[in-house]
Amino acid sequence: MALRRGARFALRGVGLGRKALSEKAALQALKASNWHLEGAFDVFYSQTQVKPYADTRRVEELYNRYKDPYVDMILVDGITLLCNDLQVDPQDIVMLVLSWHMKAATMCEFSKEEFIGGLQALGIDSLEKLRDRIQLMRSELKDEQKFREIYGFAFGWAKEKGQKSLALDTAIGMWQLLFEAKHWPLVDHWCQFLQARHNKAISRDTWSQLLEFARMVDPMLSNYDAEGAWPYLIDEFVEYLNENGIIKKGHLNDWS
């Protein structure tokens, strides 16, 4: 406790000509970095200071390394090479966070504008700088507001072009990826329920409302309101949990 208090005071003292960091901002930065002071400084500077300059020529060289030889875009092969260079798995959630920063329209694709504009906004013009930023990107998932934004972004990013809904298999994969970061204990039951009872594409409304359900309703359903304005699919999910006695099968951890 004393160590955490000391770290908070140390971070609050950061000014460099600016107003000292507030207690709330210091606490948020420390939580995002798992109470590592050095990591908290990284969070602070990435969010509050002017982003470092990115050399446009070097960013374009990076783009040219990964772009498709026949189309002026980075496609699956280029993203696979990028992941190899970053030493991350293509299925790693950090690639979703990177795509969110780049405002990418489609999974497994980066347009030239998205890739170059995204890296310039991050102040990154080398593979080394991008690799160094990976851990900070992971920490952004712990920020409640950023997680909400990334979650909302993921629906449009993952759905097929021209489709309004998200294919069920894709939605399940995305939910398992995203809720692993939040440790929602009902995610596997939700996915099993969909495969058993629904087996249809997922609407944006269902996608959005599930996040609210996971945040607001206790995993044991103690505060679930049957008269609430939840989508019918979520109401059916609660019935499924009760019918199968799932919420009685041992302890379920709270949303973290």
pLDDT digits (tens, 9 = 90+) for 51-102: 567 899 999 999 999 999 999 999 999 999 999 999 999 999 999 999 999 9
How many angstroms separate the CA atoms of 243 and 88, rounded?
41
- pTM of the predicted model as reported, rounded to 2 decimal places: 0.78
Give the per-residue pLDDT at 247: 81
Establish how many alpha carbons lie within 13 A of residue 80's alpha carbon, considering only the half-sphere containing its beta carbon.
Answer: 4
> Mean pLDDT for the chain?
84
pLDDT at 43 over 60: no
DSSP count for the chain of H helices, then E strands: 13, 2
Q: Would you call 12 exposed, middle or buried from its count of C-beta atoms within 10 A (0-12, 13-18, 19+)?
A: middle
Return the beta strands (E) in the chain as ranges.
Answer: 73-74, 110-111
What is the spatial distance between Cα 67 and Cα 73, in angstroms, rounded to a whole number? 5
Whole-number Å distance between alpha carbons of 195 and 175: 13
pLDDT of residue 221: 92
Alpha-carbon separation of residue 43 from 34, 54, 89, 135, 232 (angstroms):
11, 19, 24, 10, 40
What angle in degrees, to the nearest 10, is found between the helix axes of 127-140 and 144-158?
Answer: 110
CA-to-CA distance for 169 and 150, rounded, in angstroms?
Answer: 19
Do residues 90 and 79 lie in contact, with contact meaning Cβ atoms separated by under 8 Å? yes
Interval 185-233: pLDDT, tens = 999 999 999 999 998 999 999 999 999 999 999 999 999 998 888 889 9
pLDDT confidence bin for 36, thresholds 50/70/90: low
Structure tokens at 161: 């072009």
Residue 189: closest CA among 156, 165, 221, 160 = 221
Specify the pLDDT at position 62: 97
Read off the pLDDT band of 182 (50, 70, 90).
Answer: confident
